[in-house]
Amino acid sequence: MLKLFRQHTRCNQLIRSLKTGHLKYSSPTSSKDVRVNQFNIQLLPQYIRDHIFGPQPGNQEDINSELVDKAKEHLTSHEIDFTKGSIIKDVPKPSLVELRSDNIKEHFDSIAYTMLQPYLYLVDKLCNCQIPEPPAEWKLTPGWIKYGSNEPVKIMYPDESALVIDVETCMAVGPDPVLATAVSPTCWYSWVSPRLVQKLDEEWHKEDLFRNRIHQIPIRDDADTSTHRIIVGHNVSFDRCRLREEYNLAKSNTHFLDTMALHMCVNGVTTSQRGKWLKAEGEGEDQDSMSGWMGSASPGALRNLYKLYLGKILDKAPRDLFLTGTLEQIRNDFQNGITYCAKDAIATLEIFQRLLPLFKQSSPSPVTILGMMEMGSAYMPTNNKDWSSFVTNCDEYHANSVRSTSVKLRDLANKACDLSEDNLYLLDPWLSGFDWNFIESKKKTSKILKWYNKELGVKSEEISPQKRIVPLLLRLVWEENPLHFVEHLGWGYIVPAPADDKGSLIYSLWIDYLNKYLEFLQANQHNKPTLLQEVRGLLNRFNEANIPCTDSFSVNDKIISLKEDYPTIKTAQILKKIMVHSYKTKFGTSFGRVKLPGFDIPFDFYRIPHKNGDNYNCGKPLGRDYEFAMQNNIMKSRVSKSGADILKAEKFISFWRSNHRRIKNQMIVNVGTVGEEAVILPNLCVAGTVTRRAVQNTWLTASNAEEDRVGSELKSLITAPPGYVLVGADVDAQELWIASLLSDSHFAKIHGCTGIGWMTLQGDKSSGTDLHSRTANSLGITRNQAKVINYARIYSSGLSLTVQLLSTFLPNESIAEVTKKAKLIYKQTKGIHVPVGSNDDMYSYRRTGRDSSNTSLEWSGGTESYLFNKLEEIANSKEPRTPALNCRISSALLPDNVKSSFYTSRLNWVVQSSGVDYLHLLLVSMKWIMDSYDISGRYCLSIHDDIRFLVREEDAERAVLALQLSNLYTRCLFSYMTSVPDLPLSVAFFSAVEIDRVLRKDPTNECITPSNPDGLHKARGIPKGKSFDIHSILKLVSRLEKVS
């Protein structure tokens, strides 16, 4: 394994020539401080540029003037005035950390290899060892037992530095470990919980919010933080959460490697592929008979990997002992249970031995594996008092809201029962399809409708808003069309089918009702002539057949809703407020016709749009995915105030209802002997998708605090312990910048030479020249909506998704209208397809790596054409790899394995996987600078583009500068690897690096929510944090120095 790294990085030669690592203090001349390129993009000061990229040959850059002219034509044609742009005159002048080589790539390779070297030796021992035989009999003894060549020996913790571990828990009693096994290159270890051996079953408290550190597994001496250790496991973060010393605040040199994460990088599958793979396996196909990608890849379960890499079947049946068994059953079947645990450890090591060499071929840069190891050391401090209050407040608010909503829903259901009078339910498109017969009962006074009894239950105290009948009781409409549920299609809305002749426009049922009401009014000599006139006028309109079919729901709605307004008045009198009005409906793709009782005409059924596309059903119209529709009245209730109140309440509690189990099931371990300090080690997979993004089902999906969302202050529960702070930043438009760099590098190799490049670097929100503002103005939507459209396109989503998104953002426009707009924005951005080598389009000028005789197509004429040509060039290559760290795509998406299938996934992979490279580079640089300059701290967590470190308070400002420099070097590496050897000043440094006590989006945000109405300062004493740009931090820390 060492050999693989040496061959790639030339580290033998580099290490012999390493420099001191101290700061390089430069005295830049003022004349070179302000540099701009041919497109008015301000670049790094000359001394920074030369320090990182090396001196430029000659007095001018080697630039093809013809390409520059073409680029200017390109920008001008898209109404981009590249002659204008903001210039920063107060150029930041940080002192720079000395690079360890002549170029930035070798610098990163060198520092990563240096920090990795002790672990590579341990990894080699595991990869090359012959797995020792497990003991014939395991000791049911509390604590650790070592099984070597002699008799088993009781020890405090394993005395070797390279281990493969597997930990088991008993689901019946909670998340604490009950037993574990570990295997090294030379021997076996077992650990058994003292509580299991001593039969202290009453001490296991499954429902406790907090766990005790003493009940976790000791893995090393508490005071030993210097010994380098490597621990391998499958989904190893599950095991790490149960290792006692990992909860220590002081960082150690113990690191973890996850076979599941390594596999996802090499041979993992996408979500859609996973379903196809499982189906093929379920039909009995073996690995050898699976063709293409199915034969070389698999989902990440241990048994799947064992079959893929070893060709063997792993028996997982004994796992049920831990999933469904009791502590007593585990004791009674101890030998079988711990043997199962040991077999999983053996399988993990066998997989690791075959997988790691493949991983190194797939991801050759030492930065990648070190970045993954750093991510695996995530550490999230919290406070058990604050956590308890948070859970209590959220639960109480949720319970009160559910009770109140239930009362209102029961009232709506009871009022709906009144529609049985005069068969009014036949006019209700929401409820007409239910069984309106009464249940036969011996009690004459008890009359219960069958649908009521079936859907709600007479004696039920609460009605869950998640019941299928609730959208119907609320009389929800989508763009004024009633919601309807079809079993195999989910939720949609119904629209009267187009009329074929005049006769179908005459609704005899309504005419019968109106005649009946008219007779009633005349017979009773009603003294309100206005009402009589309205009824006669309405009847005349029906008789003349002048009412379009789309008016049908308006009439019904008025009749039924007015019944609610006047519950004690005869049904005839509800016609007093009838006002027939037409409304516009928007037609998409009909999924069939629906016939409703009481309606003479059929209805077309249209699916409610789903965020994942047309092939997905809407399962919960009241879910979070449709809050936007409710906020913008695309979907609303026809039940006046009570309906609006229920929808509002649903929005308030939706986050807590969806996440409360995951939040309460967090393994929070108390670490203070007397205080309130606690720690969460997030159970995450550092590369859980084929794009190599981390996956964790609570923290990586948590929203920011919102005033109308119970529990959304969750992230602010991550609280630095006394003496420490959180230092971090949100990477500014990370993946958009990567995309724009790929675009620029594919054309003139100058920053800002393409439309997307210039708009990303120099576009200004206030003047409307940035990408999102231009898209918003072009489509007539908000800037935030434009962000969704733009990122979807950059992630290579198709035109159909853009149409779907625009249909949601522009509810008053027809499908034809939004389709036209979507096509226009695609033409403006992505461009059009033209044959490669076509001479009639100036934007086909540069075709790097393409054969002009090739008759294939390329994108041309758009602001993002060069981007998509570059993405397709990478995606279509024999082995698609990321430009920055040369990481290869999973075999499940290799062109030879999938041909033209999953093409969007391949394009999407280029951008998103490059974003993971960015994070790995940032982490490695921070680790190196923090270690080199004695900045006391450790990695905390990264959520999307947001990265945080836990830092000792006196080192916080130096950590801010370290993070700014790390961002500079990371972006420069990207520019260097894409052959654009310079960097725009606007992206060189974070716009803000924050020092804060808690994890929150904005250091001044009080995180006020329904469950935290008083805010952080009043409720918890949390002060506002501080934010630093590069200028403000340089006033406090002009340079990094080692602390004496």
* 166 carries an active-site annotation: yes
Cα distance between residue 357 and residue 344, in whole Å? 21
C-alpha Rg value of the chain to the nearest Å:
33
Instruction: State whether residue 148 is helix, strand or coil.
Output: coil
β-pair type (229-233, 254-258): parallel
Beta-bridge partners for 358: none
Strand locations in 82-172, DSSP E?
Answer: 96-97, 143-147, 153-155, 162-169
Nearest to 258 by CA among 688, 680, 668: 688
Write phi, then psi, for 1007 (nearest 5 degrees): 55, 50
CA distances from 424 to 293, 504, 636 (A): 58, 21, 22
- Angle at which helices 640-664 and 384-417 pack, to 10 degrees? 140
Environment class of 737 (CB within 10 Å of its CB; exposed 0-12, middle 13-18, buried 19+): buried
Residues in CB range of 146: below 8 A, 6 or more apart? 152, 153, 154, 155, 158, 159, 187, 188, 189
Write phi, then psi, for 1027 (nearest 5 degrees): -130, 135
Residues in CB range of 257: below 8 A, 6 or more apart? 123, 230, 231, 232, 233, 236, 352, 369, 372, 373, 376
Nearest to 419 by CA among 539, 603, 520, 567: 567
CA distances from 709 to 648, 973, 1012 (A): 10, 40, 10
Cα distance between residue 157 and residue 179, in whole Å? 14
β-pair type (162-169, 229-233): parallel
Contact 462, 402 (CB under 8 A): yes
Residues in CB range of 766: below 8 A, 6 or more apart? none
Cα distance between residue 499 and residue 502, in whole Å? 7
Nearest to 772 by CA among 758, 762, 787: 787
Contact 822, 803 (CB under 8 A): yes
Could you write out the DSSP letters of every residue in 225-275?
A: -SS-EEEEETTHHHHHTTBGGGG-SS--SEEEEEHHHHHHHHH---HHHHH
Give the active site residue among 33, 109, 166, 239. 166
Catalytic residues: 166
